[in-house]
Amino acid sequence: MSGSALQWSTAAAWRADAGSPEPLPHDFVVDGRCPLCGDAIRVETTGRKICFREGLACPRCRTNARHRAAVVTLLEELHGRDDARVYATEQATPFYVALKRRLSNLSGSEYVRDLRRRLRLTGWLWWHGVRECLHFADLTALKRRDASLDAIVSLDVLEHVSEHRLALRECARVLRPGGTLVLTVPFQESMLQSRRLARVRGDGTIEHLIPEPEYHGDPVSGGVLCFHHFGWDLLDDMREAGFAEACARRVHAPGAAIPQPLWVLVATR
């Protein structure tokens, strides 16, 4: 896979080296190959507004550029071990279905408490060739043994978890020493400190800390409340949660149809 990734463990280190990225030309052709399913991805950007993070979907497996940046990172971290014990914090998604074809020991879950919805989503998984039940899991209280996983991949989920530090601690607990957490969030590199947008009160109700609550689209449930805008201190939260190292990587892989560098956070247990 042709590509490159630079990484930084602090905002100061990033600021010291980050020249401004070269702007993309207005009209160009994205021409790459999907690292998940191997299909060709060719998109002409002429006259179109394209989101280089959420767009550029693979025509076969439907993963977007952000998914592929995470996959490129995950596969590098696994050093070709297709039988590694990997957990994804999603399951009823095209990304999970595509990754399951690459990693034989992949497991996943959704934050879906309702049994009837879980049954429906299990049907969706079977329809897509993944013969397993849809599992419920709460990222802040995983029902998994300590040090039982080689890697966790969590894509744009952590910003929807009110107690995100608890979730990071759980990830650190269930990963073996040397195991890796690969995370995407809408990372705001200009912010040193993260900003909390909402919190869950003791009685379970939500307190909004901004006038217009922010909801993000979600393939399983529609709109999901965003609790955080994350900046560089998320890496400190990862280290405090029990990870030995944490860094923010800029993944740039034109050959995987990732024409513009995308942030992927990587923490090693």
Residue 208 phi, psi dihedral angles, 5° rounding = -90, 135
Residue in 164, 139, 142 with CA at minimum distance from that of residue 227: 164
Residue pair 59/122 in contact by the 8 Å Cβ criterion: no
Contact present, 238 and 181 (Cβ < 8 Å): yes
Rounded to the nearest whole angstrom, what is the least distance from the CB of residue 252 to Zn ion in the complex?
19
When the beta carbons of 72 and 247 are compared against Zn ion, the nearer one is: 72
If the CB atoms of residues 33 and 249 are measured against Zn ion, the closer one turns out to be 33
21 versus 59: smaller Cβ distance to Zn ion:
59
Of 34 and 155, nearer to Zn ion (C-beta) is 34
In the chain, beta strands by DSSP E: 4-8, 29-33, 40-44, 86-88, 106-108, 149-155, 175-184, 195-196, 198-200, 206-208, 215-218, 222-225, 228-229, 245-253, 258-268
Residue nearer to Zn ion on the CB measure, 99 or 121: 99
Nearest-approach distance from CB 58 to Zn ion, in angstroms? 3
| Shortest spacing between CB 179 and Zn ion, in angstroms | 26
Q: Distance between CA 202 and CA 217 in Å, rounded?
A: 26
Cβ at position 236, least distance to Zn ion in Å:
35
Q: What is each CA distance from 236 to 199, 228, 232, in whole angstroms?
A: 20, 15, 8
Residue 268 falls in which region: left (phi positive, over 0), alpha (psi -120 to 50) or beta: beta
Residue 60 or 144: the one with the smaller Cβ distance to Zn ion is: 60
Name the site residues for Zn ion (rule: CB under 5 A).
34, 36-37, 39, 58, 60-61
Q: Answer positive or negative: Cα dihedral of 188, 190, 192, 196.
A: negative
CB of 258 to Zn ion, least distance (A): 12
Question: Which of left, alpha, beta for 257 (phi over 0: left; psi -120 to 50: alpha)?
Answer: left
Closest distance between Zn ion and the C-beta of residue 99, in Å? 10
Nearest distance, CB of residue 8 and Zn ion, angstroms:
29
* Residue number, 97 or 226, with CB nearest to Zn ion: 97
Tell me if residue 125 falls in helix, strand or coil.
helix
Which of 99/238 has CB closer to Zn ion?
A: 99
Q: Yes or no: say if 94 and 183 are a contact pair by the CB < 8 Å rule.
A: no
Give the shortest CB-178-to-Zn ion separation in angstroms. Answer: 29
